[in-house]
Amino acid sequence: MQTNPPHLSPPYSSLVAVGDSFTEGMSDLLPDGTYRGWADLLAGRMAAASPGFRYANLAVRGKLIGQIVDEQVDVAAAMGAEVITLVGGLNDTLRPKCDMVRVRDLLTEAVERLAPSCKQLVLMRSPGRQGPVLERFRPRMESLFETVDALAERHGAVVVDLYGAPSLADPRLWDVDRLHLTAEGHRRVAEGVWQALGYEAEDVDWRTPMAASAPAAWLSRRTADVRFARQHLLPWIARRLTGRSSGDGRPPKRPDLLPYEPPAN
């Protein structure tokens, strides 16, 4: 599902991004060690179309939907931006124990507080890569996306269907941690949101899969699996068991709604 804004035409003058690591920009790594990501890319495009454009990104990696509601939603609503993007709840669905009723209720609360505060709220059906890692969580994810669709219809939000984009299911667009998109993946997400907001397409094929490549050799695949388990999966499990998060104590990278400035390269 993807809908266009019913009443507005670009350009917009301001953007606030709310969410977790997906919106923070992991794993689109810049030379200085910070992350860029689709929201920064989108802001750069919107700024080029609107002099004086302002941008804030409140997203922090590892945040659950309850934390997003408690720490980001009221801050974002008070900024008075024309466009707000909200992506959250996926981290909850990946927890061993997840109360989906509570997750859906919290997402509803977030939308109900953000939608009246902006001209256009943007929601997303988050992307999901191919492979077995996320298969056990897929029913939860799809339950979350059903709530996203219903809330968008109720509150006039735009829904960007990344989950249904064939290109973003390609493992080559995912980092070695298998949870975050590469730079090319983030570029495609930015294009999807750009078009959903009513801007003229720069890449009409962003949903189209990349050309097929020869499958990796068995040994290469097993080596990659071992590296993934050691460097990413085991630390992730340890954080879940101890109640820690990769975002604990980390501030948002753009906490204030200020004129957009491109990152230093």
Q: Would residue 226 count as lying in a domain?
A: yes
Confidence grade of residue 210 (pLDDT, cut at 50, 70, 90): confident
Looking at residue 178, its pLDDT comes to: 66
Domain count, the chain: 1
Residues 156/6, Cβ–Cβ less than 8 Å? yes
Q: Would residue 184 count as lying in a domain?
A: yes
Give the tens place of pLDDT for each residue, 150-199: 999 999 999 999 999 999 999 889 887 768 899 999 999 999 999 999 99
**pLDDT of 229 above 70:** no
Mean pLDDT of 61-68: 96
Q: Would residue 6 count as lying in a domain?
A: no
Mean pLDDT of the residues in the chain: 86
pTM for this predicted structure: 0.85
Neighbour count for residue 166 (Cβ, 10 Å): 11
Looking at residue 232, its pLDDT comes to: 45
Give the tens place of pLDDT for each residue, 183-196: 999 999 999 999 99
Strand, coil or helix: what is 13? coil
Mean pLDDT of 136-145: 90
Q: Would residue 7 count as lying in a domain?
A: no
Q: Extract the tokens encoding 157.
A: 């939000």
CATH code where residue 222 lies? 3.40.50.1110
Residue 168's domain comprises 14-259
**pLDDT of 126 above 80:** yes
Looking at residue 19, its pLDDT comes to: 98
Residues 193/85, Cβ–Cβ less than 8 Å? yes
Report the alpha-carbon distance of residue 100 to residue 96 in Å, rounded. 12
Q: Would residue 41 count as lying in a domain?
A: yes
Q: Would residue 243 count as lying in a domain?
A: yes
At residue 167's C-alpha, the angle toward residues 63 and 221, to 5°, is 80
Looking at residue 6, its pLDDT comes to: 46
Residues 127/172, Cβ–Cβ less than 8 Å? no
Confidence grade of residue 228 (pLDDT, cut at 50, 70, 90): very low
Q: Would residue 50 count as lying in a domain?
A: yes
Neighbour count for residue 11 (Cβ, 10 Å): 16
Mean pLDDT of 250-260: 95
Lowest mean pLDDT among 27-31, 91-95, 224-228: 224-228
Looking at residue 12, its pLDDT comes to: 97
**pLDDT of 67 above 90:** yes
Looking at residue 147, its pLDDT comes to: 98
Q: Would residue 8 count as lying in a domain?
A: no
Mean pLDDT of 73-85: 98
Looking at residue 94, its pLDDT comes to: 84
Lowest mean pLDDT among 18-22, 212-216, 222-226: 222-226
